[in-house]
Amino acid sequence: MTETPEIYGTTAPGFEPVREAFAANWQTGNEIGAAFALMIDGETVVDLWGGWADRKKSRPWAEDTIVPVFSTGKAVTAMVMAKLVSDGVISYDARVADYWPEFGRAGKERVTVAEALSHQAGLAGFPEPMEPSDWFDRDLIEDRLAAMHPLWALGQGSGYHPITYGFLADAIARRTTGKSVGGLLREDIAGPRGIDFHIGTPEPLHARAAEHVLPPRAPFLGKTNDIKAAAFLKPWSTPGRKGAAEWRMAEFPAANGHGTARAIAELLSPFACAGKLRDAQLIAPDTVEAAMMERVSGPDRVLPFDLAIGAGVMINRDSGHYGPEPRTVGHYGFGGSCGFADPVRGLSGSYVMNRQMDVLSGDPRAMALIETVYGCL
């Protein structure tokens, strides 16, 4: 039997079963270190952590341990973009080319911001050979995206954009505000409130970062096609060859956010609380509704799922990946992390860990916790 570590943190009265479910995840043998947080109406009701921050189990997972959450950060990026819409800086219905004129080439002149954020722009990856280190050259990647022809006929469904989603959002943000998505988080949203989530993690914080352990096998992607290969399967499909420190410091808004579970739960609380973050109306309620509105649904060209996608968030519907509420939105990250927000119950939460599993969405460890939460309500 696997040793269950001491579990730290707090649970509000009535949520004790969540602590039990969190501890039980170690009995599967699939956990090293992890954290889980839950907020209701912006108030923290669960904040738990335990285990180890490294594979050798020499460094305990602490209250302030941060961890890379990969695509879970897409939901945080969606929240940042929703704030820009709420502030009148951009519109979901505007064309990307209205803000980024060079983008309006190669048949992409009519792609809207909402379509770009809902994986409909046809730019899921680069089919032509490149160096994995090219991803660290933001201008080069933006130039390639602007010049690229869509990989499928636009208006005909989604194809998940693992890395390029973040470059599209970032290009729009920088051209309208002068700040990157990571910069907006640092300067306007998370930083001033002391919320511990970072896109572009400063080097002094790296000592707090957990070491992630890769899954035992690659996730199942279904039948391969050229679009799926460009997105996930080419040697250059993901950033590389720069080292861990450079990767942590780079800004990949789709893929390398680092933070705590409580930070993600809080940053997604505007989706659960009609736009409120703590006591401030960060995002207008109608913008939150627009962000969570279904923009596309059906079989995805990259992920082996039927998806329903809002402006940067996945919509639960009947998947059960984020609990029983169909209107819940969220995102999973490579290996099992997730963040979610239920606008019906005012509930937001996050599960993060460093032992990655070969699951694209609906990690059993996260789902066990979410199911237990709903059993406590």
Domain CATH for 66: 3.40.710.10
The closest of 8, 30, 34 to 19, measured between CA atoms, is 8
Higher pLDDT: 183 or 217? It is 183
Residues taking part in catalysis: 71
* 116 falls within a domain: yes
Indicate whether 329 pLDDT > 70. yes
State the pLDDT at residue 142: 98
Share of the chain above pLDDT 90, in %: 97
Indicate whether 163 pLDDT > 80. yes
Cβ–Cβ < 8 Å for 102, 171: no
* 220 falls within a domain: yes
Cβ–Cβ < 8 Å for 218, 358: yes
> CA-to-CA distance for 2 and 24, rounded, in angstroms?
10
* DSSP code of residue 217: S
**What are the two backbone dihedrals, phi and then psi, of residue 48, each rounded to the nearest 5 degrees?**
-125, 150
Indicate whether 2 pLDDT > 80. no
* 249 falls within a domain: yes
Indicate whether 1 pLDDT > 70. no
Higher pLDDT: 373 or 220? It is 373
Indicate whether 98 pLDDT > 70. yes
> CA-to-CA distance for 316 and 307, rounded, in angstroms?
9
Q: Are strands 43-51 and 7-11 parallel, antiparallel or unpaired?
A: antiparallel
Query: What is the radius of gyration, based on Cα positions, of the chain?
Result: 19
Q: How confident is the model at residue 3 (pLDDT cuts 50, 70, 90)?
A: confident
pTM above 0.95, yes or no: yes
State the pLDDT at residue 190: 98
| Total count of domains within the chain | 1
* 2 falls within a domain: no
State the pLDDT at residue 191: 97
Token pair listed for 322: 């984020």
> CA-to-CA distance for 13 and 5, rounded, in angstroms?
22
Average pLDDT over every residue of 103-119: 98
Question: pLDDT, tens digit, for every residue of 207-243?
Answer: 999 999 999 888 999 999 999 999 999 999 999 999 9
Question: pLDDT, tens digit, for every residue of 143-152?
Answer: 999 999 999 9
Question: pLDDT, tens digit, for every residue of 15-71?
Answer: 999 999 999 999 999 999 999 999 999 999 999 999 999 999 999 999 999 999 999
* 206 falls within a domain: yes
> Which residues constitute the domain of residue 276?
7-376
Average pLDDT over every residue of 335-363: 97
Taking the alpha carbons of 20, 25, 29, 34 in that order, is the dihedral positive or negative? negative
* DSSP code of residue 86: H
* 343 falls within a domain: yes
Residue linked to tokens 């990157």: 180
* 246 falls within a domain: yes
Average pLDDT over every residue of 318-334: 97
Indicate whether 319 pLDDT > 60. yes
Q: Which residues pair with 68 in a beta bridge?
A: 258
The closest of 303, 253, 322, 300 to 70, measured between CA atoms, is 253
* 36 falls within a domain: yes
Average pLDDT over every residue of 358-372: 97
